[in-house]
């Protein structure tokens, strides 16, 4: 697996916002992440770049809730980014369909797409990535690109998630994690041996770059 470049910065959201804005200018396929951490990066990216018509937007995972639910990853990105820029095609995961039908439908939506140009990922304090949780059978999926999953952390709603092969296929994988409660997971994910106990440690771009953008609190055990 390729190494991960670790970037520790006082303003990680701005670092990621610049990467997103550059990807929007370059065009291609960009997959967004959910959770709370990327919201500021999305808001900044919208300020840095208004024209997103050259980029197709996708998601790495989604909670099985309607798009206007406060737990929706699409809903968060819509408020923080999509509603503030000129958009190209937007491919949201339809969480409201449930994990099985939602995953099947997203596989159809992906069509011939084999890899993202930029894949943004968060990091759970348990080391999970997208909705791939520690020691779960979802980690063994080697064929499908997108599957249903059970949540092992808040919010306890079913999930739709890309699989490890689809995450690893990205040209550029970018992790964004902030806060002291991510420090242990960050060491296991970015400086430890690859392990099913830390799914993020299993995600590196096979033929591309992998970058972890952290604030000093999340990166404190990596300096």
Asked if 183 touches ligand 6PG (CB under 6 A), the answer is no
CB of 33 to ligand 6PG, least distance (A): 5
d(CA 7, CA 47) in angstroms, rounded, equals: 22
Distance of CA 120 to the CA centre of its chain: 4
Q: What are the strands, taking DSSP E only, across 54-109?
A: 55-59, 61-63, 86-87
Asked if 37 touches ligand 6PG (CB under 6 A), the answer is yes
Residue nearest to ligand 6PG (CB): 122
> Nearer to ligand 6PG by C-beta: 73 or 211?
73
Which residues lie below 8 Å from residue 101, measured CB to CB, with a gap of 6+? Answer: none
Asked if 29 touches ligand 6PG (CB under 6 A), the answer is no
Each residue 109-138 as x (binds ligand 6PG by CB under 6 A) or -, in order, gives -------------xxx---xxxx-------
Looking at residue 122, the DSSP 8-state letter turns out to be: -
If phi > 0 it is left, if psi is from -120 to 50 it is alpha, else beta; for residue 130 that is: left
CB of 55 to ligand 6PG, least distance (A): 19
CB of 129 to ligand 6PG, least distance (A): 6
Asked if 158 touches ligand 6PG (CB under 6 A), the answer is no
With beta carbons less than 8 A apart as the criterion, state whether 177 and 122 touch.
yes
> Nearer to ligand 6PG by C-beta: 124 or 208?
124
> Nearer to ligand 6PG by C-beta: 115 or 128?
128
With beta carbons less than 8 A apart as the criterion, state whether 62 and 160 touch.
yes
With CB under 6 A as the rule, give the number of residues binding ligand 6PG: 15
> Nearer to ligand 6PG by C-beta: 26 or 153?
153
Asked if 34 touches ligand 6PG (CB under 6 A), the answer is yes
Three-state secondary structure string covering 9-48: CCCHHHHHHHHHHHHHHHCEEEEECCCCCCHHHHHHHHHH
> Rounded to the nearest 10 degrees, what angle do helices 73-80 and 39-48 cross at?
40
The residues binding ligand 6PG (CB under 6 A) are 33-37, 61, 63, 73, 122-124, 128-131
């Amino acid at each position: 697996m390729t190494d991960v470049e670790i970037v520790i910065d006082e303003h990680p959201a701005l670092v990621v916002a610049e990467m997103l804005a550059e990807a929007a200018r370059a065009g291609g396929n960009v997959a967004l992440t959910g959770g709370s951490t990327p919201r500021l990066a999305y808001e900044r990216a919208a300020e840095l770049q208004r024209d997103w018509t050259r980029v197709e937007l996708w998601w790495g995972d989604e909670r099985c809730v309607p798009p206007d639910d406060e737990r929706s990853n699409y809903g968060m990105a819509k408020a923080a980014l999509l509603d503030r820029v000129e958009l190209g095609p937007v491919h949201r995961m339809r969480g409201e369909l449930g994990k099985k039908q939602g995953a099947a439908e997203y596989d159809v939506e992906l069509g011939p797409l084999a890899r993202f140009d930029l894949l943004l990922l968060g990091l759970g304090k348990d080391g999970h990535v997208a909705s791939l949780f520690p020691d779960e059978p979802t980690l063994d999926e080697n064929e499908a690109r997108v599957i249903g999953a059970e949540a092992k952390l808040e919010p306890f709603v079913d999930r739709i998630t890309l699989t490890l092969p689809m995450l690893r296929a990205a040209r550029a994988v970018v992790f964004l994690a902030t806060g002291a409660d991510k420090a242990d997971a960050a060491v296991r994910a970015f400086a430890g041996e690859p392990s099913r106990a830390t799914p993020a440690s299993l995600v590196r771009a096979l033929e591309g770059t992998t970058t972890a953008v952290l604030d000093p609190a999340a990166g404190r055990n990596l300096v």
